[in-house]
Copies of this chain bind each other. A is one copy, B any other.
Amino acid sequence: MAVKAVVLLSGGLDSTTVCAIARSEGREIHALTIDYNQRHRKELDAARRVAQSSGVQEHLILSLDLSLFGGSSLTDMNMEVQKGKALETIGTSIPSSYVPARNTVFLSLALAYAETRAASELWIGVNCVDYSGYPDCRPEFLKSFEETANLGTRAGINGARFSVRAPLLNLSKGEIIRKGLSLGVDYSQTLTCYSPTSEGLACGQCESCLLRLAGFREAGIEDPIPYVNRSRR
């Protein structure tokens, strides 16, 4: 019987690759997308497209209005998404796009979902190479969450072991893209931009776009999605 896994799927490049890796390892995938009232709503459409073409068992979209708390440029319309940073400065400090405790919240929700489906693995696309400076992308955080998960659930008490799988943790963006392509990922379905146009064009200037574009350059491949001001980069 296939091992059941909850995969956090945003519809971006990283989580889409994670989904493909989980599938390549034979997991039965329960994909979870969190609609946290992020300003980049087009991401949800991307998540739906990816889930449909990834052979997942089930795909749930859970609404959670994190904009109620504020404190991040991704949810607070009064804060601006930073654009045009020099690539080498990304990751040196925590950016305004940091959503407070986001991965703790997302992994908790993945855990709740996993427990109801008797899934033992939580897959997440965090990365500590091009990690953009978020504290909750570090391996020691993931390890600690695993411990908390095993202590805080019925399944944990009954001897099941939850594990957090973060297969991108030590890969560069270019390596992630090459890995995904080797598994047949269609990156034209994904959307990474924090600030896309209403037509779904990526801005090409936010941190997320800058890291993505650098990744495609590193992989020596053209990014298949359209950007503002030019059809492709």
Which residues of A are interface residues toward B (Cβ below 8 A)? 60, 62-66, 68-71, 94, 98-105, 107-109, 111-113, 115-116, 135-136, 138, 140-141, 144-145, 147-149, 151-154, 156-157
Nearest to A111 among chain B residues (CB) is B101
- Min Cβ gap A14→B in Å is 18
Complex CA–CA separation, A101 to B153 (angstroms) = 5
Q: Which residues of B contact A65 (CB under 8 A)?
A: 62-63
A112 touches which one: B102, B144, B149 (CB < 8 A)? B102
A154 touches which one: B62, B94, B105, B144 (CB < 8 A)? B94
Complex CA–CA separation, A177 to B98 (angstroms) = 41
A141 touches which one: B60, B99, B104, B151 (CB < 8 A)? B151
10 smallest CB-CB distances across A and B, nearest first, come from A71-B116, A100-B115, A101-B112, A136-B152, A141-B151, A108-B108, A144-B148, A105-B108, A100-B112, A135-B157
Structural contact, A100 and B71, CB atoms closer than 8 A: no
The quantity of this chain's copies bound in the complex is: 2
Nearest to A100 among chain B residues (CB) is B115
Q: Which residues of B contact A103 (CB under 8 A)?
A: 152
Structural contact, A70 and B116, CB atoms closer than 8 A: yes
5 A-B pairs (CB sep. < 8 Å): A62-B65, A98-B154, A100-B115, A104-B153, A105-B109
Q: Which residues of B contact A98 (CB under 8 A)?
A: 154
Q: Which residues of B contact A60 (CB under 8 A)?
A: 68-69
Nearest to A116 among chain B residues (CB) is B71
Q: Which residues of B contact A154 (CB under 8 A)?
A: 94, 98, 100, 135
Q: Which residues of B contact A148 (CB under 8 A)?
A: 104, 141, 144-145, 147-148
Complex CA–CA separation, A66 to B113 (angstroms) = 9
Q: Which residues of B contact A102 (CB under 8 A)?
A: 112
